[in-house]
Amino acid sequence: MAPAFVEHADRSALVLAAQTGDPAAIESLLAACQPDARRYAWRHCQASDVDDAVQESLMVIARKVRALKAAAAFSAWLFTVIRRECLKLQRAMFRHEPLDDDIAERQLASRSDGALRLDLVHAFESLPAHYREVVPAARFRGTHHRRDRRAARRARQRRQEPPAPRPLAGARIPARLIRRCTRPHDPFARHRAAGSRLRWKRHASREPGKSWTPRNRLCRAAGVAPGRGKEKRHEVREAWGRAKNHRAAGVAPGRGKEKRHEVREAWGRAKNHRAAGVAPGRGKEKRHEVREAWGSATPPGATIAPAMTDTLTITRPDDWHLHVRDGAALEAVVPHSARQFGRALIMPNLRPPVTTAAQAVAYRDRIRAAVPEGTDFEPVMSLYLTDRLPPEEIALAAEAGVRALKLYPAGATTNSDAGVTDIRHTYKTLEAMQKHGLLLLVHGEVTDPAIDLFDREAVFVDRVMIPLRRDFPELKVVFEHLTTKEGAHYVRDAGRFTAATITAHHLLYNRNAIFTGGIRPHYYCLPVLKRETHRVALVEAATSGSDRFFLGTDSAPHPAHLKEHALGCAGCYTALTAIELYAEAFDNANALDKLEGFASFHGPDFYDLPRHTGTITLKRESWTVPETVPYGDATLKPLRGGETMNWKLS
C-alpha cells in the first residue's frame, strides 16, 4: 500500500523515480500529492467539482510526469494542473453566459438593418431544417399567413419525435428565403403590386386615436394628441422628458412655466430630504424638520476638513526593514530604533553575510546586548539567500527563530556581491521555505546594465515576481521598499501571500530632492527616489488602509565621509526620526487615522506575530533634527539633519 504521507524532502526523489516509469513510485507520488491537490482544488473549484478536479489532475500527473524538466518544480506544476482542470469545469458549467440587456441593445443600435439581417440569415443556417422552414416567415417578417401556420404545426409535430441527426455543414438556406429576409420590410408591398388600394386606404382612413401605428401609441402614452411629422416627434420627445421628470419628482404631469418651477422646487426638496434622511414632503413643518435634521448632518457635497490633531497615540509600531551593521556602529544606532519600535527585522547583508542559523543567533545576541536597559525591543532575524544556500539550513533556521530570507540580486545594493545570480538556482531552497513557513524578502530590482536605473523595479515585476508567484503560490513574499507605481499596483492586485514595505523617504521625496541646490548625497539610496507620480502612488497605497502595505524604514547608516565621497554609499539614515517622518507623510495626506494600521498592525499580522500592547505618543511640535550623531569612530548624518520637523516622539 502506498504511504499516506511522504515527507516533503522526499518528494523530489519520488518525482525522479516516477519519471523512470516505476509503477510503485508513481502510486506513492500520487498518494503523497493528493492532499495538496485537494487543498488547491478547494481554493479554485466549486465544492461539487473538487473530487472531479482532483481525479482528473492525478490522471494528468500520472501520464505526463516524465515530461517534467525539474523535480523541484513539481509543486508549481501540480498547482497549475489543478487550476487548469478547475477552469475547465467552470467553463463547462457556464458555457453560455447570458448577455446583459443594456449591452445587447447598444450593440444592436450600432448595426445597420442590412447587417442585422445578414447576421440573422447566418443564424438560420445553423438551425435544424424544420425550424428553417417556419421561423423566417412567421417571426422575422411579422406575417402570419395560413401557409406559415401550417408549417408551424408541422414543425411542432416533428419536435415531438426527434428527427434523425443531419449534418449542418452542407445545409443552405433557400435563395427565395434569403431575398425575403434581406429586403426592406414593407407590409403593403403585395397590395400595391396587385393594384389593390383597399387595405391601404382602410389603414389610412382609421381614426388617429385608433390607428395601429407605434407613433400614436407613443403619443397617447406621452399625453400628446396623435399625429405625425417632425414637429409631432419633437413634441412627443419633450413630453416624454417632462413626464419622466414629473414622475421622478412626484409631481403631476403638465406643461408650462409654472409646472417647470414646481418640478424644480420638488427636485430641490427631494434631494434635501434624501440627504437629510427625512421623508419627502412640503410645508412649513417639513422645512423645520429638514433644518433640524441638517443640524446633525453634513450637507451634500460639503468637504469636512479633518480636525487638527496635536497629539497622536498609536500602538507601538514595528520596523520591518532595518540595517544596524555590526560592532561599534551597531551599538551607536540600535538605541535610535529601540526608542520607537517594539520589533525590527534585521537585514543580513554584513561582511561576510549572515547565511546560517548559527550566525543569525550570534548576530541577534549582539543586537540584544546593545539595547538600552528598560527598553522593550526584539530583533527579528533573517538569512542572506545565495545560489548555494542548502535547503537543509532552512529547517535549522526555523528552529532558531529566523523568520525570513533576503533575496539580493547580485550587485543590486550595498554588500550584495554574494547575492542571487538567477532565481532558478534557489528553487530547492524556496521549496523548503514554503514548507517551513519562512518568508522571502526581495530587493525588487534587476541588475541588467541594459535596463535604465529608474525602470529596474518595473522590469523586476515582469521578469522575477510574476514567475516566482506562479511557481511558489503559497510562499509568503515581501516586496521590500517599493518605489514605483507599477510595484504598488502589482502588490495591491496580488494574492494574499504578497505584501510590501514602504520607506518614509520614498513617501516624502521624489528624485528632485537629490539635486536641489546641488548634489545631496544623503538623499541617495537604492532603490533610488523616483518621479513625483510614483511618490503619489506610494502615498495612496500606504494611506489606503490595505493590509498589504506596512512600515519598513530601510534605514541604512554610513559614515558621513563615505556618503560625501566621490563614490558615495547608497542609503538614507532615517532611524533617528523614523516615526516622525512617517507621521509627517501621513499628515500631509490627511490620513493620520491610517498610520496605526500601517505602522503597528499590518506587519505583525502578515508575519503571524502578536501585536504589541504598549503605545507611543507623538506631539505636533517644532524641533530641529541634530546635524550629526556619533557613529563609532566617525559621525553619522541623519536625513533632514539640521532641519525642522513638526512632529516629535514624546
Give residue 460's region: left, alpha or beta (phi > 0; psi -120 to 50): alpha
8 A C-beta contact, residue 428 and residue 391: yes
Alpha helices in 94-139 (DSSP H): 101-109, 113-125, 129-135
| DSSP line for 576-615 | GGHHHHHHHHHHHTT-GGGHHIIIIIHHHHHTT-PPPS-E
C-alpha 129/C-alpha 50 separation (Å) is 41
Alpha helices in 250-391 (DSSP H): 257-276, 284-294, 327-338, 357-370
C-alpha 422/C-alpha 409 separation (Å) is 8
For helices 284-294 and 257-276, what crossing angle results, to 10°? Answer: 40
8 A C-beta contact, residue 62 and residue 26: yes
Indicate if the alpha-carbon torsion angle 313, 315, 316, 321 is positive or negative. negative
8 A C-beta contact, residue 273 and residue 290: yes
Return the C-alpha cell found at 375.
527598553
C-alpha 446/C-alpha 117 separation (Å) is 56
318 is catalytic: no
C-alpha 80/C-alpha 84 separation (Å) is 6
Of 46, 635, 23, 643, which Cα lies nearest the Cα of 333? 635
| Cis peptide, bond prior to residue 379, ω within 30 of zero | no
Q: Pick the catalytic residue from 148, 318, 554, 587.
A: 554
C-alpha 504/C-alpha 512 separation (Å) is 16
| Residues facing 315 on adjacent strands | 615
Return the C-alpha cell found at 426.
534557489
C-alpha 260/C-alpha 254 separation (Å) is 9
Q: For residues 289, 293, 299 and 304, what is the CA-based torsion angle, rounded to 10 degrees? A: 160
Helix, strand or coil, per DSSP, at residue 383: strand
Of 342, 389, 321, which Cα lies nearest the Cα of 574? 321
Looking at the annotation, which residues are catalytic?
Answer: 554
